[in-house]
Amino acid sequence: MALHDTLQALVATLPKRQRDIISQRFGMGGSKPKTLQALGTKYGITRERVRQIEAAGLRLLEKEAEGNDRLVSYMKKAIDHLESLGGARREDLLVEDLKMVFRDSSISDSDSTLLFSIFGKPKHFTETNDFFPFWYLEEPNVKELKTFVSKLAQYLRTKKEQLIEKNKFDELFAAAAHQHRVKDFIALNYALISKKFSVNAFGDFGLSEWPEIAPKTVRDKAYLLLKKVRRPMHFREIAVEINKVRFDHKRAHPQTVHNELIKDTNFVLVGRGLYSLKEFGIEPGTTREVLHRILKKKGPLPLEKIVQLVGEQRVLKYNTIFFNLQNKRYFKKTGGGHYKVA
């Protein structure tokens, strides 16, 4: 018999009022669990009275469950699984785990919550700004979890380049786990409970505070996109790709992308509507200014070499480069067919 059916049969033994309130509080009929206030309004009683009826019903269920070998077996497997993960597991992930542990794909969040409420363990940690809701065995498990998360965040704060650009997640995570004497898979489990860490649309792991991990503005999204593709992109293409990646529910509009990028010095306009990143070694400036920088640094060069070097900085047509070099106020052609700064 599936866990859901076993629990339903158990709840069916309760007096009607307790049975109805337990069923609705835990959403046993497939509906959304109801609050104490909603049930109080429905039955014309106080929230406290609903809580008392629920508590009395759970006490009766606990007595019955202790003699139910199937439910006792379920609980033992659940507790053993939590212990193997360091004594804590994110609420949604634990439900998926239990489907495999119990070999029962029909298990729902309501089923697991009712099972744990009947036995009074594990304990539930309500969602906060720092943590997702999770189940835990003992208070020391929560303390260990919070300590590791804090130290991991501190450790990774200086490892952004290694994580995002050099893809050294496995190496860095193993080092952090070893340093704090936590098994790798337990360290990962703890990290998944914390909101301090996240994975971006490209699969990069890092701190949620990093714009490369959780980009919020159009500027942040464009920056991450250009950093990944590592080639110039037209602002219209950038808008299209941002919407394809779907960092969030907000749509990017081409004109907004253009307006954001053109005023940010981290982005360089390398052609008509084409942008790249300054950190790639691309410097801002007009075609003439780019030519002037190259020739001043390299000295006299043949036209073909100039075109090649300009191509590393800008997306320009051959004729555009050639005609700019004809400006005798800034450039001079040598007897050997080379160009230099005038």
Mind listing the pLDDT tens digit for each residue in 69-108?
Answer: 999 999 999 999 999 999 999 999 999 999 999 999 999 9
| Terminal Cα-to-Cα distance of the chain (whole angstroms) | 89
- The reported pLDDT for the residue numbered 321 is 84
Mean pLDDT over the full length of the chain: 91
Q: Which residues of 217-235 are buried (b: 16+ CB within 10 A; e: fewer)?
A: ebbbbbbbbbebeeebbbb
Residue 284 has pLDDT above 80, yes or no: no
Mind listing the pLDDT tens digit for each residue in 165-193?
Answer: 888 888 888 888 888 888 999 999 999 99
Same topology for domains 218-278 and 287-341, yes or no?
yes
Q: What Å distances lie between residue 128 and 90, 125, 147, 189, 195, CA to CA?
A: 13, 9, 16, 17, 9
- The reported pLDDT for the residue numbered 97 is 96
> How confident is residue 123, by pLDDT bands cut at 50, 70 and 90?
very high
Q: What fold is seen in the domain 218-278? A: Arc Repressor Mutant, subunit A (1.10.10)
Residue extents of the structural domains in the chain: 3-119, 139-207, 218-278, 287-341
Give mean pLDDT, residues 186-211.
Answer: 93
Rounded-to-10 torsion of CA 88, 92, 93, 98: 90
287-341: which CATH architecture?
Orthogonal Bundle (1.10)
Q: Which two tokens stand for residue 120?
A: 């009074």
What class is the 3-119 domain? mainly alpha
Place of tokens 């400006």: 327
| Closest C-alpha among 126, 137, 133 to residue 85 | 137
Half-sphere exposure of 17 (CA within 13 A, CB side): 14
Whether the CB-CB separation of 330 and 296 falls below 8 Å is answered with no
How far apart are alpha carbons 195 and 90 in whole angstroms? 11
> How confident is residue 318, by pLDDT bands cut at 50, 70 and 90?
confident
Residue 286 has pLDDT above 80, yes or no: no
